[in-house]
Amino acid sequence: MPELPEVETTLRGIEPHITGKTVYRVTVRQPKLRWPVHPDLAEILKGQTVLECSRRAKYLIIRFQTGCLLIHLGMSGSLRIFTAGDERAGAPDKHDHVDIVFADGTLLVYRDPRRFGAVLWYEGAAEYHPLLHNAGPEPLSPDFNGGYLYRALQKQKKAVKTALMDNALVVGVGNIYANESLFEAAISPYRPANLLSEQECETLAATVKDVLGRAIAAGGSTLRDFVNSDGKSGYFQQEYMVYGRAGEACRRCGTPVEKSIIGQRGTFYCAVCQK
């Protein structure tokens, strides 16, 4: 599933192409996604101008005069940009479910083979949408820091990896980057969250920021069907220290990387380097 770096990469890819542009036509070929596409979306968006593009958690937000589109990529979704004259014009793929054509010919395509993503219209500010209203701070924001993390974990006896993936604590730290961040911070994913020291929380918060920042710079990871807005895959998977490397030598100490299940998610760690 695309995680925060993949979504941020997509945002940076589409934003300069559609901000300030007016919608000319919307085509919804498949309204049955994770949640139904609004039946009047074409009429709602026609003639409206994109005021701003942003991201909250793993949701892309396209703001218009009367509301906003919240787009979630699900397990296999992507947003692709085609400018006037590109080959895609007039030749939709069978998994191209929503097209937004702008007045200058720019085309934004939502593609999703597994149809587990979402294209939601909301008449209001995105932060008040029920899916985002109780979300925690962004991991790359100043609000997410060691002090905040230490205070937030005091009453959480669950495994620290599970806590780190809780969107009420911090948004967007998915399975891949939780594994990688805990390795970089030398913290066992099994540690009870409330037993982390203040210094460990400082280290972990800083490590989360660093890992996500490097992943964004690498264009995210190649995750099954994920491609960014120009059809290219990310390459951060080449830098994985533990994720997906069960049985391989730890890049630091040489001990075989172990795999277990925590909170129904595959968990990769080095039992020597992480305590």
Q: Cα–Cα distance between 152 and 133 in angstroms, integer?
A: 18
Which domains are delineated in the chain? 4-128 (3.20.190.10), 146-269 (1.10.8.50)
| Among candidate residues 233, 252, 240, the one with its CA nearest the CA of residue 211 | 240
Collapsed DSSP state (helix, strand, coil) of residue 161: helix
From the candidates 55, 58, 80, 245, give the one annotated as an active-site residue: 58
Binding residues are 95, 114
Is 256 catalytic? The answer is no
Is 16 catalytic? The answer is no
Q: What is the pTM of this model?
A: 0.87
- Please report, in tens digits, the pLDDT of each residue of the chain (275 residues total): 678 888 998 999 999 999 999 999 999 999 999 999 999 999 999 999 999 999 999 999 999 999 999 999 998 899 999 987 676 656 788 999 999 999 999 999 999 999 999 999 999 999 999 999 999 999 999 999 999 999 999 999 999 999 999 999 999 999 999 999 999 999 999 999 999 999 999 999 999 999 999 998 887 664 444 444 455 555 566 789 999 999 999 999 999 999 999 999 999 999 999 99
Structural tokens at position 186 = 């030398």
Binding residues for DNA are 95, 114
First to last CA, the chain: 28
Is 3 catalytic? The answer is yes
Is 265 catalytic? The answer is yes
CB 1 within 8 Å of CB 75: yes
